[in-house]
Amino acid sequence: MSEQETGSTTAQPPVRESSPEAEVLESMSGSGRDRSSSFLGGLMSSSVGRNLGLVVALFALCLVGVATAGEQFASIDNALTILRLAAVIGVVSVGMTFVITGGGIDLSVGAIVALSSVWATTLATQSLARGNHWTVMVLVAVLVGLGCGLINGLLVAYGGVVPFIATLAMLAAARGLAEIIAQRRTQIVNVPGFTDFFRHDVLGIPLLVIIFALVALVGWVVLNRTTFGRRTFAVGGNPEAARLAGINVKRHTVALYAIVGLCCGIAAVMIVARTTTGSSTHGTLYELDAIAAVVIGGTLLSGGRGTIVGTVLGVLIFTTLSNVFTQNNLSSSAQSVAKGIIIVVAVLLQQRLATRSNSGGP
């Protein structure tokens, strides 16, 4: 799944010459410059090279795991444990990639996960699900997530509220509402169909992991192979230019926040399935985990450049890290320190490579 020079390769030949949209993309993706700079610099600053760097980092982490924990680390069961842990936060991170690529940020993802999980497991929802079908719970969670995302998007796009503030407000309000609905209790799922379904494996792969893979795949296709994706890069890179190029920036922004809300709804279903509970404490600090994964994946926080493959690798790096620490009896405090160092190193590397490729260009 190689992901390269998103703007130029995906733009169709007919539009390429004439459409201002394509020109905007060309100027922002920086891919033209990459080709003319030195080979190594070009490779490292292209998205393939960046992803290669992440793969190397992940591989190194796995080597550390094998060296320190041996067979216990290098087992299929352990790989599945890592993937199951990565699945929930991974789905949120895929949504976060969209919103950050589009030049925004969403601090409310954890709170939306909590609210969706609680709403989907209230007594009323559960009895409705028992009376009809367990998918009612899935539907409720997804709709609640989508609704919160829409509110965020409308506030940002049409209300003119800065994304940081709009989603900060949602962070506080959604978790508060979750606490009110659940009365701060843990709501246990008592719908046999729901829990049984999510316990299924397909060819030995847990369903949660498959959902994560599907979400990532759909996200990759939408971001890299559709007009919507190209517009996302344009809106994130330079909203004014995108508007002049005929993109409805406001509507597009709403759609981006709706996508991350939708992903939170899906993640809520997954966490309800994994814990068999809904709780207002679910998803605590997921916003930070998701943003960290997106950023070390190579998506620019300022928007205009984004990669789903990088995000998935970023999520895997953090979950593998926590697994290696658990295997080695190390405390989670040390783990947080390591996480912080990884974020800083990744961003410093990206900045150095970015400036090098800029100065090396024409």
Partner 1 sequence: MSRNTRRRRLALATGAALSGVLFLSACSTDTNDTDNDSGSSDSGQANAASSNDDPGKKVVIGFSGPAADHGWLAAINSSAIAEAKKYSDVELKTAEGTNDANQQISQVETFINDKVDAIVLLPTDGAALTDVATKAMEAGIPVVNVDREFSTPFAARTTVLGDNYGMGVSAGTYACDVIEKKGLDDAVVAEIAGIDALPLTQDRSKGFKDALKACGQNVDNRVAAEFTVESGEKAASNLLQAAPKIDVIWNHDDDQGVGVKAAFDNAGRDEFAFIGGAGSCNAMQWIKDGQMAATVIYPPTQAADGIGLARLIAQEKGMSDLVQVAVPKRVVLDAPVVTKDNVNDYQDLCFES
Rounded least distance, CB 356 to partner 1, Å: 37
Sole window of 83-91, 130-138, 145-153, 344-352 interacting with partner 1 (rule: CB under 8 A): 83-91
77 contributes a contact to partner 1 by CB under 8 A: yes
- Print the binding letters for residues 309-328 with partner 1: x by CB under 8 A, - otherwise: ----------x--xx--xx-
Rounded least distance, CB 303 to partner 1, Å: 29
- Give the number of residues in contact with partner 1, rule: CB under 8 A: 36
Rounded least distance, CB 224 to partner 1, Å: 29
Q: Do residues 232 and 102 make contact, with C-beta atoms less than 8 angstroms apart? A: yes
Rounded least distance, CB 77 to partner 1, Å: 4
Rounded least distance, CB 185 to partner 1, Å: 7
- Near partner 1 by CB under 8 A: residue from 84, 231, 305, 339: 84
Residue matched to tokens 């759909």: 218
Rounded least distance, CB 195 to partner 1, Å: 8
Q: Taking phi first (over 0 means left), then psi (-120 to 50 degrees means alpha), and beta for anything else, what does residue 246 get?
A: left
Residues contacting residue 120 through CB under 8 Å, at least 6 positions apart:
137, 138, 140, 141, 144, 268, 269, 272, 278
Sole window of 32-40, 52-60, 85-93, 151-159 interacting with partner 1 (rule: CB under 8 A): 85-93
Pair of tokens at residue 119: 């709403």
Nearest to 210, CA basis, from 44, 325, 90: 90
3-state secondary structure of 188: strand
Q: Of 74 and 244, which CB lies nearer to partner 1 in the complex structure?
A: 74
Q: Do residues 90 and 212 make contact, with C-beta atoms less than 8 angstroms apart? A: yes
122 contributes a contact to partner 1 by CB under 8 A: no
Rounded least distance, CB 81 to partner 1, Å: 4
Q: Of 167 and 319, which CB lies nearer to partner 1 in the complex structure?
A: 319
Q: Of 2 and 331, which CB lies nearer to partner 1 in the complex structure?
A: 331
Sole window of 82-90, 153-161, 225-233, 252-260 interacting with partner 1 (rule: CB under 8 A): 82-90
- Give the Cα separation of 103 and 163 in Å (integer): 9
DSSP structure string for 292-357: HHHHHHT--TTSS---HHHHHHHHHHHHHHHHHHHHTT--HHHHHHHHHHHHHHHHHHHHHHHHHH
Strand partners, 201: 206
Q: Which amino acid appears at position 119 of this protein?
A: W
Pair of tokens at residue 62: 């796995």
Q: Strands, DSSP E only, in the chain? A: 187-188, 201-202, 205-206, 277-278
Footprint of partner 1 on residues 229-288 (CB under 8 A)? 271, 274-277, 279, 281-282, 284-285
- Print the binding letters for residues 172-191 with partner 1: x by CB under 8 A, - otherwise: -------x---xxxx-x---
Instruction: Tell me which residues touch partner 1 (CB under 8 A).
Output: 72, 75, 77-78, 81-82, 84-85, 88-89, 179, 183-186, 188, 195, 271, 274-277, 279, 281-282, 284-285, 319, 322-323, 326-327, 329, 331-333
